[in-house]
Amino acid sequence: MSIWRVILSIFCPPLAVLDRGCGSIIIVFLLWLCGWVPGVIAALVILNNPKR
């Protein structure tokens, strides 16, 4: 996980997970609409997943 991805996930979480698939983008986008903090946390968790 690069520093640029972390910064992008803080400002616009759906853009940070664009290469992780459609499901990840939709989940992060919906959480981001519910509130800024859940979207950021979800994006950071998805980016920190070692399997991808």
Distance CA 8, CA 51 (A): 21
Span 26-42, pLDDT tens digits: 999 999 999 999 999 99
How far apart are the C-alpha atoms of 47 and 41, rounded to whole Å?
A: 10
pLDDT at 51: 77
Whether residue 47 contacts residue 10, with contact meaning beta carbons closer than 8 Å, is answered with no
CA distance 8 to 14: 9
What is the total count of domains within the chain?
1
The domain in which residue 12 lies consists of 3-48
- Express each pLDDT in 41-52 by its tens digit: 999 999 998 776
